[in-house]
Amino acid sequence: MVLKSTQSKNAVERWVVLDNNGNTLFDGTLADALIYYNANKENEIKDSYVVDGSFVDKKRTPTGEIKLNSGFKDLKATFNASKTTQQASPTWEPFKGGIYSYSFSANSTEELILTPYHYDHDQVPRTLSRIHVHWATSEASAGTIRWGFEITYAKGHGQEAFKEPFFVYVEQTVNSGKTEFHYIAEDEGGQLGNGEIEPDTLVLIRCFRDGSHINDTYPAKAWGFTADFHYISDHETTIGRRPPFDVPTA
């Protein structure tokens, strides 16, 4: 099924739901058309639907497509593909069986330079991104772990220089009795956004366990896997491949 914008004879915008042969299944307002679609989609799973008309939501970048189910996505960087530095580095060692991962000491500050984050063309403008770490305990002790991030970023296409680095810290407390449990420590405040992040923005990060800090009380090494950003998406593409992204690019 396809959701399509049209206009009635009195110039009032209407929305229709069409079947795969172009036959009209529903004609009404956008809200009613979405209700109809969701009730009759017959288990179709698609990320986006072509919009062929003049609909523009002033709260977001027009994209030429509309994503019916908006929500969070992950912008990912795995520790396995990251680089160590000349400073204290985590240890590459067996995690489970023959599967290796990085372990971070409880007694020092150990760091990785993460793979650069490249923002795609699907983020809702002026919304915040929240960084988080996927990690696991190594023994059944209780305590608080503290992760740190030194961050710089810049918009693409020659618009600006990379910003002076700033720091974000995320702390998470775990209970005893949970060895090799998978945890996600997330920055709830959100550090990137408010119009500063757009498609083709690059984010560079030094990630570290702040094991020497007084707040880090988890007494054992911690396994680190990925550091990702949660960001909000309601579309798949933009009609421009460079700024301004709401203007078609030849």
The CATH number of the domain covering residues in 72-233:
2.60.120.260
pLDDT digits (tens, 9 = 90+) for 159-173: 999 999 999 999 999
Query: CB–CB of 209/105 below 8 Å?
Result: yes
Write down the pLDDT at residue 69: 55
Could you give the C-alpha distances from 35 to 12, 38, 102, 112, 236, in angstroms and in order?
A: 19, 5, 47, 47, 21
Q: Which residue carries 């969070």 as its tokens?
A: 72
pLDDT at 46: 38
Extract the residue ranges of the chain whose pLDDT is less than 70.
1-13, 20-21, 30-31, 37-38, 41-70, 191, 193-195, 250
For the chain, which residues make up each domain, given as ranges? 2-55, 72-233
- pLDDT at residue 63 in the model: 40
pTM of full prediction above 0.75:
no
Q: Options 2.40.50, 1.20.120, 2.40.10, 3.30.160; which CATH number does 2-55 get?
A: 3.30.160
At 194 the pLDDT is 61
Whether 2-55 shares its CATH topology with 72-233 is answered: no
